[in-house]
Chain A
Amino acid sequence: MSPFLRFSTINKSFGGIHALRDVSLEIEGGVIVGLVGENGAGKSTLMNVLGGVLEPDSGEIHIEGTSYAPQSPRDATRWGVAFIHQELNLFTNLTVAENLFIDGFPTLPGLPFVDRRRVRRETEDALHSVQLEIAPGTRVETLSPGQRQLIEIVKALRRDARLIVFDEPTTSLTSKETEKLFGIIRGLKAAGKTIIFISHILNDVEELADFIVVLRDGQVQGHGPIGEFPINRMISLMVGRDIRNLYPERSAHDPGPVLLSVEKVSQPGIVRDIDLVVRSGEIVGVFGLMGSGRTELARIIFGLDPQRSGQIRLKDRTLSPGQIRERIEAGMAFVTEERREEGLVMDLSVQSNLVLVTLRSFLTRFGGLTKPGLIAMESEKIVEQLRIKTAGAGTTPVKSLSGGNQQKTVIGKWLLSRPDILILDEPTRGVDVGAKYEVHAIVQKLAENGAGVLMISSELDELIGTADRIVVMSRGELTGEFPRDSYEKELILAAAFRQSVVMSEETGAGGAV
């Protein structure tokens, strides 16, 4: 019998880059396949070929023995292939219901008009099936990233697909939402669907998948049942060498003078009475659940969002609220969480993006001309260190990079500015294991040279591995502080969950305050 899905010698190139080389693969029906690989390995490209977004240069796909060559996403849908893309593809100006039905509205009998009642009802049902309490008429622009991601998933599921591809679906989900998603995925498997799940969080892959496929440089490096692929084997196949530690060694040492001090900073509804210092040479981790106010705090510190009261000082200078330029000039840098939207100029080259903030340091003394040689050299260094995969940093527009490589570019941009205070918001989300290590290594080097680092993450292991001190946020307040010698996972988590855990146990009603 032929397998459910078969790729035979698929090739795909983009200009100079061979994104897929002779990919041949067989996948059984009714299983969850974990697809892993470094940033730029070709995972999304392979799935885009499967989903009719891209046409392969050569090769064939068969579904249940029948030749399948989708010309468009529409074709793929007709074949029962659903695709949840790495980036969100919702229309923010439309309602949730309209987003679900945009490719085919039911109409009133005999009229060209949309049957709004039916759309509303079916949307309610679909949302209900994943326990999402959102009104169908809500505009997508008002939803949180996690809610949007779930809508995207509901949208794909509504089509009654046989094969569902999830390309890094958990990057903007809270831990609760992630659990919910895993429940949904398992339910789909139980209903006989085949799932392809792409993620850089290998623990998630291990937890969920039955079968593993590892890609490297557009080639299949290995595939087989999950039992044969413990995480360290996945990693060594992914990066082509052994990685002993996930994070560079961090030893205890004495921090220098205070660089950044945040005093009693409040903004109603966002954060309350935040007191925080970051010293020279210190890496301070900020742990908190999504929505605990950590991103908001970082944005306030960087002057992107307003603050009602309190003071922020950098070295001995009091920063005025909302003055971003002042901060950059004083040596502050901020790697945002929403890197694609906030951090990049998509049509410019990797190199131009890298030197965007530091352009001034590349100007000749007279006349303000740039020094192209120096720019090329410095950006080449970063490209190499972070292993940004690109056909040529000087020419490749950032928008043609893989998702993870785009992220690395943003990080690189700020690293290049050699900041005194570096704020990182989820710096390694969507970044592969090898590059994760590099990011942390560079951050440590900055700290060694006297910079102070504030690193936000929702991966506790990552913070425990790399931070000198961890502060915990919950509901807009600091709820705990842990020096390196007293890291204890349970305690840190308890501080992060503080209110919600206690409340939900006591009231049994979901703990809304």
Chain B
Amino acid sequence: MITRNKVYNFALNQTTLLLFAALFVIFGSLAPRFLSPSSFQGILYASSTLGIMAVGITLVLLTGGIDLSLGSNMYLTGVFGHLLLNVVEVPVWIAIPGALMVGLAYGALNAVLVTRLKIVPFVATLGTLLMGRGLGLVITRSISIDFPDSLTGLRNVAFLGIRLPVMVMLAVMLLFHFVLTRTQFGRQMYAVGNNGEAAAKAGLRTTRIVAGAYVLCGLLASLAGVVAMTRLGRFNPNFAAGDELFAIAAAVLGGASLFGGIGVILPGTLLGALMIPMVRSGLVFVGVDIYRERMVMFAIVFLAVFIDSIRKEQMEKRERRTIMKVDVEGESR
């Protein structure tokens, strides 16, 4: 029998899919061109940077933390990429790993602030957000920078019709999907996010696990920075500013919980990362004034966070329940 309760529970647990389907249907019926293959390709391509960032954020959210510094991390990555490519003039295959070191260091700094100095993640990463952009501006003197073709040419590399940025995103998602579902480190991240104190008592190296999440998030952010540089070809002092909020939104839309311990990369974060450019391009197709776009975006983000907290409440309720059936079996066994 299908009860209202069951429908409600299904809706709560499958929010991501339902939202995804709803956006699809709404935009599809309002603007049939939205459903064309080229529109899908555009959305996929547009999601590549965001998708990589969202994977990093998902890791941090799983441990119960948050990282607000992704945009600045990407900017600083760009600055170093510029120094390596345009000033030192090293080849691309050296410049990219070199720039990624920025992300690694950035993540490591966040990790130290959060796990060693025990600063609340929100405050710690807000600090590094301001610091990172500040440092970048000092180095560049806030000029705009163009990247050489050796880098921007990469965006046109394609395999089986899939362009390199999209491939990188999918590879990152696949990799971290396996890390989270199949490795000890991955499972322990879920444990730490669910109950940090219990994790410590169970002998898990909680500090290392949490630190690992921030470092990986930093690394992924700078990878996203490289991908964005490749796609855009130039960058200005506002490069990626505020993008971390969309990455967080993507992760939460994908089902990751701000309360820790819940979230999956596939399909969750992938769908979440697709939804944001989907809304953007959908609104364009429908002809909504671009100044309204932000309001719609934030309404959606708000919805995602709202659903997350309802779900959390529901789960707590369920956890307390000692359903008669279960116990009756327990008694009679």
Binding site for B on A (CB under 8 A): 53, 72-74, 77, 83, 85, 88-94, 98, 102-105, 107, 112-114, 116, 131, 133, 141-147, 174, 176-177, 269-270, 289-293, 295-296, 338, 341-342, 475-476, 500, 503-504, 510-513
B237 to A: closest C-beta gap in Å: 41
Q: Please state if A291 and B184 are interface contacts (CB–CB under 8 Å).
A: no
Alpha-carbon gap, A64 to B291, bound state (A): 75
Q: Please state if B324 and A291 are interface contacts (CB–CB under 8 Å).
A: yes
Given the contacts A102-B188, A176-B331, A296-B324, A72 and B194 also touching, CB distance less than 8 Å: no
Q: Is residue B141 within 8 Å, beta carbon to beta carbon, of the partner chain?
A: no
The interface residues of chain A lying within 8 Å CB-to-CB of B262 are 93
Task: For B182, give the chain A residue with the smallest CB separation.
Answer: A113
A-B residue pairs in contact (CB < 8 Å), sample of 26: A74-B203, A88-B198, A89-B198, A89-B201, A89-B202, A90-B195, A91-B199, A92-B195, A92-B319, A93-B190, A93-B193, A93-B262, A102-B199, A105-B184, A113-B178, A113-B183, A114-B184, A146-B327, A177-B330, A269-B323, A290-B327, A341-B320, A475-B328, A504-B332, A510-B332, A510-B333
The interface residues of chain A lying within 8 Å CB-to-CB of B324 are 269-270, 291, 293, 296, 475-476
Task: For A53, give the chain B residue with the smallest CB separation.
Answer: B201
CB contact between B195 and one of A91, A146, A338 (< 8 Å): that residue = A91
Task: For A73, give the chain B residue with the smallest CB separation.
Answer: B203
B333 to A: closest C-beta gap in Å: 6
The interface residues of chain B lying within 8 Å CB-to-CB of A103 are 202-204
A91 to B: closest C-beta gap in Å: 4
Alpha-carbon gap, A176 to B329, bound state (A): 11
Q: Is residue B318 within 8 Å, beta carbon to beta carbon, of the partner chain?
A: yes
Q: Is residue B191 within 8 Å, beta carbon to beta carbon, of the partner chain?
A: yes
Q: Is residue B187 within 8 Å, beta carbon to beta carbon, of the partner chain?
A: yes
Q: Please state if B322 and A145 are interface contacts (CB–CB under 8 Å).
A: yes
Q: Is residue B116 within 8 Å, beta carbon to beta carbon, of the partner chain?
A: no
A135 to B: closest C-beta gap in Å: 13
User: How does the 8 Å CB contact mask read for B170-210 relative to A, with 1 for contact and 0 for none?
Assistant: 00000000100011100110110111011111111000000
- The secondary structure that dominates the A interface is loop
CB contact between B320 and one of A85, A104, A338 (< 8 Å): that residue = A338
Alpha-carbon gap, A94 to B198, bound state (A): 13
Q: Is residue B326 within 8 Å, beta carbon to beta carbon, of the partner chain?
A: yes
Alpha-carbon gap, A359 to B174, bound state (A): 53
CB contact between A114 and one of B182, B261, B315, B326 (< 8 Å): that residue = B182
Q: Is residue B325 within 8 Å, beta carbon to beta carbon, of the partner chain?
A: yes
Q: Please state if B331 and A92 are interface contacts (CB–CB under 8 Å).
A: no
Q: Please state if B332 and A94 are interface contacts (CB–CB under 8 Å).
A: no
The interface residues of chain B lying within 8 Å CB-to-CB of A91 are 190-191, 194-195, 198-199, 261
The interface residues of chain A lying within 8 Å CB-to-CB of B326 are 143-144, 147, 291
Q: Please state if A144 and B332 are interface contacts (CB–CB under 8 Å).
A: no
Taking each of B195, B315, B326, B332, which has the highest tally of chain A beta carbons within 10 Å of its own beta carbon? B332
Binding site for A on B (CB under 8 A): 178, 182-184, 187-188, 190-191, 193-195, 197-204, 261-262, 315-316, 318-320, 322-333
CB contact between B331 and one of A102, A291, A296 (< 8 Å): that residue = A291
B59 to A: closest C-beta gap in Å: 15
Task: For A291, give the chain B residue with the smallest CB separation.
Answer: B327
Alpha-carbon gap, A266 to B191, bound state (A): 38
Q: Which 6 pairs from chain A and chain B are nearest by CB?
A: A291-B327, A89-B198, A74-B203, A113-B182, A91-B194, A511-B332
The interface residues of chain B lying within 8 Å CB-to-CB of A74 are 203
A369 to B: closest C-beta gap in Å: 31
Q: Please state if B327 and A90 are interface contacts (CB–CB under 8 Å).
A: no
Given the contacts A94-B190, A104-B184, A291 and B333 also touching, CB distance less than 8 Å: no
Alpha-carbon gap, A476 to B323, bound state (A): 11
Alpha-carbon gap, A270 to B323, bound state (A): 7
Q: Please state if A141 and B183 are interface contacts (CB–CB under 8 Å).
A: no
**Inter-chain pairs besides A104-B184, A270-B324, 16 sampled, C-beta below 8 Å:** A89-B198, A90-B198, A91-B194, A93-B193, A93-B194, A102-B202, A102-B204, A103-B202, A107-B184, A144-B322, A147-B330, A174-B330, A176-B330, A291-B322, A292-B327, A512-B332
B311 to A: closest C-beta gap in Å: 12
Task: For A72, give the chain B residue with the smallest CB separation.
Answer: B203
Q: Please state if A102 and B191 are interface contacts (CB–CB under 8 Å).
A: yes
Alpha-carbon gap, A142 to B325, bound state (A): 12
Alpha-carbon gap, A107 to B178, bound state (A): 14
Taking each of B191, B197, B199, B315, which has the highest tally of chain A beta carbons within 10 Å of its own beta carbon? B191
Alpha-carbon gap, A511 to B330, bound state (A): 11
Task: For A51, give the chain B residue with the smallest CB separation.
Answer: B201
The interface residues of chain B lying within 8 Å CB-to-CB of A116 are 182
The interface residues of chain A lying within 8 Å CB-to-CB of B333 are 131, 133, 176, 510
Task: For A107, give the chain B residue with the smallest CB separation.
Answer: B184
Alpha-carbon gap, A185 to B5, bound state (A): 42
A143 to B: closest C-beta gap in Å: 7
Alpha-carbon gap, A88 to B197, bound state (A): 11
The interface residues of chain A lying within 8 Å CB-to-CB of B331 are 174, 176, 289-291, 500
The interface residues of chain B lying within 8 Å CB-to-CB of A102 are 187-188, 191, 199, 202, 204
Task: For B185, give the chain A residue with the smallest CB separation.
Answer: A112
Q: Please state if B184 and A141 are interface contacts (CB–CB under 8 Å).
A: no
Q: Please state if A141 and B332 are interface contacts (CB–CB under 8 Å).
A: no
The interface residues of chain B lying within 8 Å CB-to-CB of A511 are 332
The interface residues of chain B lying within 8 Å CB-to-CB of A104 are 184
The interface residues of chain A lying within 8 Å CB-to-CB of B194 are 91-94
Alpha-carbon gap, A232 to B149, bound state (A): 88
Alpha-carbon gap, A120 to B325, bound state (A): 25
The interface residues of chain B lying within 8 Å CB-to-CB of A105 are 184, 187
B129 to A: closest C-beta gap in Å: 27
The interface residues of chain B lying within 8 Å CB-to-CB of A133 are 333
A485 to B: closest C-beta gap in Å: 30
Task: For B263, give the chain A residue with the smallest CB separation.
Answer: A93
Alpha-carbon gap, A68 to B183, bound state (A): 32
Alpha-carbon gap, A77 to B319, bound state (A): 29
The interface residues of chain A lying within 8 Å CB-to-CB of B316 are 341
Q: Please state if A144 and B330 are interface contacts (CB–CB under 8 Å).
A: yes
A80 to B: closest C-beta gap in Å: 13
A349 to B: closest C-beta gap in Å: 20
Given the contacts A113-B182, A114-B187, A73 and B328 also touching, CB distance less than 8 Å: no
Task: For B325, give the chain A residue with the smallest CB separation.
Answer: A269
Q: Please state if A93 and B261 are interface contacts (CB–CB under 8 Å).
A: yes
Alpha-carbon gap, A208 to B29, bound state (A): 71
Q: Please state if B320 and A342 are interface contacts (CB–CB under 8 Å).
A: yes
Alpha-carbon gap, A131 to B331, bound state (A): 13
Taking each of B199, B318, B320, B331, which has the highest tally of chain A beta carbons within 10 Å of its own beta carbon? B331
Alpha-carbon gap, A90 to B191, bound state (A): 9
Task: For A342, give the chain B residue with the smallest CB separation.
Answer: B320
Given the contacts A107-B184, A113-B182, A338-B320, A73 and B330 also touching, CB distance less than 8 Å: no
The interface residues of chain B lying within 8 Å CB-to-CB of A88 are 198
A207 to B: closest C-beta gap in Å: 21
The interface residues of chain B lying within 8 Å CB-to-CB of A510 are 332-333
Task: For A95, give the chain B residue with the smallest CB separation.
Answer: B187
Alpha-carbon gap, A447 to B192, bound state (A): 46
Alpha-carbon gap, A144 to B193, bound state (A): 22
A173 to B: closest C-beta gap in Å: 9
B263 to A: closest C-beta gap in Å: 10
A272 to B: closest C-beta gap in Å: 10
CB contact between A500 and one of B182, B315, B332 (< 8 Å): that residue = B332
The interface residues of chain B lying within 8 Å CB-to-CB of A72 are 203
